Amino acid sequence: MNTLNYFKKWAALAALVSMFGIATSSAQETPPHHMAVKKAEKTVKDNTTLTKETAKQSARKESTAAKTEANKAVKSAEKAKSDATKTKELTKQSAKKESTAAKTEANKAVKSAEKAKSDAAKTKELTKQTVKKENEISKVEADKALKASDKAKSNTSVSTVKMKNSASAAKKSATDKLSSEKYNGHAVYIGPEGGKYYINSNGNKTYIPRN
């Protein structure tokens, strides 16, 4: 702005000098004055040219400086954009990794729950089978015990019958005669009247029909 004002002042001075020179030339035709005017015009012209060149150089410098600042601003903006892109990519990758890790942990938890469920089912089945086997064993043992009890009872009954038979036989043999005959595996006795009989399993006499 100062350079432009300076140029305007010199232009106005040159115009005044030119007008003054024309007036003087018209009023007087003296060569020295004419030379002075020419010299002043030349000075004004030279100063004007210098002012223009200075203004041009100053404008060029300012333009260069502005261009440099603009380039710096562009580079700064590009760097900021690149940094933002990198940050965004890093954030994206970090989020992806965290998501993958969370998914992996979730899968592990699901597998662990499934394994626990499977183990519980196996344990339940084994417990069921164990209880079943124990019940079967208990039943077998109970059956064995019952059979043993029945056998013992049967043996006791047989022994009792045998004892009764032996007692009856002893009693009968005291009054009746024991023959050497056998009837259905039983000893045959002969009564006082010649009748034949044997002692049955109940300890009673069973007479043998006569032929």
What span, in angstroms and rounded, lies between the C-alpha atoms of 6 and 163? 163
Strand partners, 207: 197
Query: Higher confidence at residue 186 or residue 19?
Result: 186
Per-residue model confidence (pLDDT) at position 162? 59
Q: Which two tokens stand for residue 73?
A: 């601003």
pLDDT at 27 over 50: no
Give me the chain's average pLDDT, please: 78
What pTM was estimated for this model as a whole?
Answer: 0.31
Report the pLDDT value the prediction gives residue 63, as an integer from 0 to 100.
85
Distance (Å, whole) CA 6 – CA 102: 75
Q: In this predicted structure, what is the pLDDT of residue 62?
A: 85
Distance CA 160, CA 164 (A): 6
CA-atom Rg of the chain in angstroms: 73
Which one-letter DSSP state was computed for residue 82? H
Distances (CA, A) of 121 to 37, 47, 49, 117, 131: 122, 108, 105, 6, 15
197 phi and psi angles, rounded to 5 deg: -155, 170
Which tens digits make up the pLDDT trace of 60-85?
A: 888 888 888 888 899 889 999 999 98
Ordered by start, the domain boundaries in the chain are 2-99, 176-211
- Give the per-residue pLDDT at 145: 82
pLDDT-above-90 percentage for the chain? 4
Residue 183 scores a pLDDT above 70: yes
Q: Considering only CA atoms, which of 191, 197, 198, 166 is closest in space to residue 176?
A: 191
d(CA 34, CA 47): 20
Q: Does residue 24 register a pLDDT over 60?
A: no
Average pLDDT of span 184-188: 89
Burial class (CB in 10 A: 0-12, 13-18, 19+), 188: middle
